[in-house]
Structure 1
Amino acid sequence: MATLFIADLHLSVDEPAITAGFLHFLAGDARQADALYILGDLFEAWIGDDAPEPLHHEIAAALRALSDGGVPCYFIHGNRDFLLGKRFARESGMQLLAQEHVVDIEGRRVLIMHGDTLCTDDAGYQAFRARVHTPWIQRAFLLLPLCFRRRIAARMRAGSKAANGKKPLAIMDVNAAAVEQAFIRHNVRWLIHGHTHRPAIHELSVNGQPAFRCVLGAWHAEGSVINVTADEVKLIAFPLS
């Protein structure tokens, strides 16, 4: 048996192949897991649990079937779906976790997160993140009519895409000092995250001890999962169809 980790699916009605691949994964390999952890950006955008999107209900039903089948599912918010709330969590059977969470797997203490907070060189993004994570701003946004929320979200996505196109690639990756601080803060030797879309397992040295940063890939042309067993931690890519 294994514990599985995924991130950055960016599900939307515009990418039906990714949705189909994810549903196939939930009905297949995920059914054999000890647990499934989704580390953010499950959806391309999230404007509130009250948005009547058929895709959301389809995904919730599939996740509920997984958890009802005995595989617990956990979720950490990403930068795209940070407004996903308790209503959807109840519908899908997922348990919401804090943005930084330590889980014990087969004797390993593993820190899990989305990963955007590690990208501290991108000062513009971090300032934006701080604003949109302000509780009163989130409450005010969720009180707006859905049509207004959709327009605001569309403008924000367009602005983000334009801004990212002008940024050096290096500043959108993790900062080495921020990574080291996360290891030390939580007293771990393993870190699993997404966000950067740069799948790899990096071996580091933290306080003179070996440490490992495991990065999930985004689900574009293929799926990406980290499989943790008693014997190994393995990054796996697989076709969506």
Structure 2
Amino acid sequence: MILLISDLHLHEERPDITGAFLAFLEQHAKHAQALYILGDFFEVWIGDDAMTPFQRSIATALSAVAAGGTQIYIMHGNRDFLLGHDFCELADCELLKDPSIVKLAGKPVLLMHGDSLCTSDRSYIRLRRVLRNPLILFILRNLPLRTRQRLAGDLRQKSKTSTRMKAMDITDVNPAAVEQVMAHYQVCTLIHGHTHRPAVHTLAEGKQRIVLGDWDSQGWFIKAEHNSLKLQALPFPSTP
């Protein structure tokens, strides 16, 4: 059994999400062969050198699952693209390139965070191209901590404001971009997150696109075993 999750947006202000994730690790992930985290694991990540006690506790929880034999892979999202090797070493996980092909349910499957597929949102794609430039990444990682905190806060606020003002189809993946990337990698199945619109989409020629949901009022995960890929909702544990 292999599990996939995305878009938890973990942060201290949402202990319900943290509690649900820790329960997921205990009840599901520790029994899995592998766990894939497809980006936006944290709400914000300004550098491994700025890890908070909360973020370290999450790394420790992942490491405990990895110690039991579960392989853990994590992919960058648009919120945590500065996450680096120090965190991965602490969490005993491997940083996964976006995109990557893995074998799931007996077939090659393309894994992505999904933001690069939102090509109709031209302003975001331009910003993404700038922020992922290796030189810009180097500069960002070496900025003073307070500067990075301020920039992260500004980007989060601008992102929320911009998303509210854009049409739904602009902030969703572009069908042509999906078709192009699947043809390039010669796969029949694509799994991604980012859009917060969980669904299983049937495409032409027997292909499919599975979208992981975000963790907000409930969690979402994909279970891959035997010859099946199942998208499942995960109710949050009830609080006293």
TM-score scaled to structure 2, two decimals? 0.97
Residue 156 (structure 2) aligns with = 157
Cα deviation 1:31-88 (Å, max 9, x = unaligned): 1111100000000010000114011101000110111110000011100001100110
- The AA in structure 2 aligned to 1:20 is G
Residue 232 of structure 1 is aligned with which of 218, 225, 228? 228
Matched, 1:202 2:198: no
Asked if 1 retains the 8 angstrom alpha-carbon contact of 2:38 and 2:112, the reply is yes
1:114-164 per-residue CA deviation (whole Å, 9 max, x = no partner) reads 000111000000000011111111111211221111111101111111111
Structure 1 segment 42-191 matched on structure 2, within 5 A:
42-191=41-190
Runs of 4+ in 1 over 6 A off after TM superposition: none
Counterparts of 2:20 and 2:216 in 1: how far apart (Å)? Answer: 10
Native 8 Å contact 2:3 2:224 kept in 1: yes
Letter in 2 for 1:124: S
C-alpha RMSD of the superposition: 0.9
SS class of match (2:207): strand
- Where 1:73 maps in the other structure, the secondary structure is strand
Identity, in percent, stands at 46
Unaligned runs of 5+ in 2: none
CA distance in 2 between partners of 1:122 and 1:180 (Å) = 17
Give the distance between the partners of 1:204 and 1:159, measured in 2 at CA. Answer: 33
SS across alignment from 1:120? coil
- Superposition deviation, residue 106 in structure 1: 3.3
Residue matched to 1:222: 218
Residues paired across the two proteins, number: 237
Return the letter of the residue paired with 1:202.
Answer: H
Counterpart-to-counterpart distance in 2, 1:223 and 1:80: 18
Counterpart amino acid of residue 182 in structure 1: V
Q: Is it true that 1:37 corresponds to 2:33 in the alignment?
A: no
Q: How far apart are 1:233 and its partner, in Å?
A: 1.1
